[in-house]
Amino acid sequence: MRGVIMHGPGDVRVEEREKPTITVPTDAVIKIAATCVCGSDLWPYRGIDTSDKPMPMGHEYVGVVETVGSAVTTVKPGDFVVGSFMASDNTCEICAAGYQSRCVHVVPMGGIGTQAEYARIPLADGTLVATSRQPTAAEIPGLLAASDVLGTGWFAAVAAEAGPGKTVVVVGDGAVGLLGVLAARRLGAERVIAMSRHADRQELARKFGATDIVDERGDAGARRIRELTDGLGAHSTIEAVGTQESMMQAIRSTRAGGHVGFVGVSHGVELPGHKLFFSAVHLHGGPAPVRRFLPELIELVMSGAITPGDVFDMTLPLNRAAEGYAAMDERRATKVLLTV
């Protein structure tokens, strides 16, 4: 089968890979219908995360079950399924508490590589959720978004305790940040302030429900948020970048007693304890337990209540994955969908 392999920074190739098979009875193998390039895939692409051997890429996926292991009971061949970027048993104590991304048996799908024609899904019963019917072509991008960026934005909004009466700030205007805007509004937030300086992303943020746009960043951005919130700061802030500047911007935009939900994978961040202490915010984040939210998100997509697939502003066939990486790296695209 064909699959994306990264050979080094900026070097993405579509090559022949061995087609996966069932290795243990809890596996499933799915035929990928659509996959995509993640903002986190850009870290190795830009040489910030490094690997000394070629890496299969991709961890977002939707598709059709081809075969299942003998222990799999909740999905069957022919089912259209959505899974998270972290495979999980969904039964351990950590999963039961809603933290499937830190399951005691967790398997990161990034190590398997879903930018490919097929993928083995470990712990299929715990990981995959079947849709109630075959989706239309128009529904597939939304379901694919649920697999990571929507689920991550949703978790960030939940971690930030976005809800009725709340003012929510969103730091980061990538796909996760934009879907954090959508999530915050769906969760009932009264006001959602998107921090963005790109006209096209501002437009999508407004479409997803942003009530205000702030184009300052860093200290100036945090000051502007204070001005917009009677000097107090937001109740809730979503951080969807993962840098020192964005984390501090998020913390400083939040009022004492407020909540910061951070989902940008931290790179080089060192949080000054003294500032965090006196900020008196709640801080919660990490790899999103997307599985917790999948049934609800699939229903919202299939009913047409939300259109998170709007974040995909470029679609390419899998063979042209390298063009998709380049477009995202150069910010010509927010999020690239790969058809398989």
Interface residues toward its own copies, by CB under 8 A: 93-94, 97-99, 101-102, 104, 230-232, 242, 244, 247, 255-257, 262, 265-274, 276-287, 289
Token pair 């200290």 is found at: 219
> 102 or 223, CB closer to its own copies?
102
CA-to-CA separations, 47 to 105, 149, 241, 267, in angstroms, rounded: 29, 22, 17, 12
Of 278 and 299, the one with the shorter C-beta distance to its own copies is 278
CA–CA gap between residue 36 and residue 255 (Å, rounded): 36
Q: For its own copies, which is the closer residue by CB, 155 or 208?
A: 155
Q: Which is nearer to its own copies, 139 or 239 (CB)?
A: 239
Q: At closest approach, how far in Å is the CB of 248 from its own copies?
A: 11
Nearest distance in Å: CB 285, its own copies: 6
> How far does CA 182 lie from the centroid of its chain?
13
Nearer CB in complex with its own copies: 270/330: 270
Cβ proximity to its own copies, 283 vs 316, nearer residue: 283
| 139 vs 303: CA distance, rounded Å | 9
For tokens 């969904």, the residue is: 90
Structure tokens given for 293: 């939210």
Q: How far is the CB of 286 from its own copies (least distance, A)?
A: 4
Q: Of the two residues 88 and 334, which places its CB atom closer to its own copies in the complex?
A: 88
Q: Provide, rounded to whole angstroms, the least separation between the CB of residue 102 and its own copies.
A: 3
Alpha-carbon distances, residue 235 vs 162, 165, 251, 257, 267 (angstroms): 8, 9, 11, 8, 25
Least distance (Å) between residue 132 CB and its own copies: 29
Question: Where is 32: in which H helix or E strand?
Answer: strand 28-36
CA dist 102 and 100 (Å) reads 5
CB of 111 to its own copies, least distance (A): 15
Q: Which is nearer to its own copies, 10 or 286 (CB)?
A: 286
What six digits make up the tokens of 105?
């048996």
* Least distance to its own copies, CB of residue 291, Å: 13
- Minimum distance between the CB of residue 330 and its own copies, rounded to whole angstroms? 26
Q: How far apart are CA 116 and CA 139, in angstroms?
A: 20
Which lies closer to its own copies via its Cβ, residue 164 or residue 268? 268
Cα separation values, 127 from 124, 146, 185, 293, Å:
5, 13, 27, 12
Question: How does 306-331 read in b/e, with b if 16+ C-beta sit within 10 Å?
Answer: bbbbbbbbbebebeebbbbbbbbbee
Please tell me the distance from the alpha carbon of residue 168 to that of residue 276, in angstroms, as a whole number. Answer: 19
Least distance in angstroms from the C-beta of 39 to its own copies: 14
Are β-strands 2-8 and 11-16 bridged in parallel, bridged antiparallel, or unpaired? antiparallel
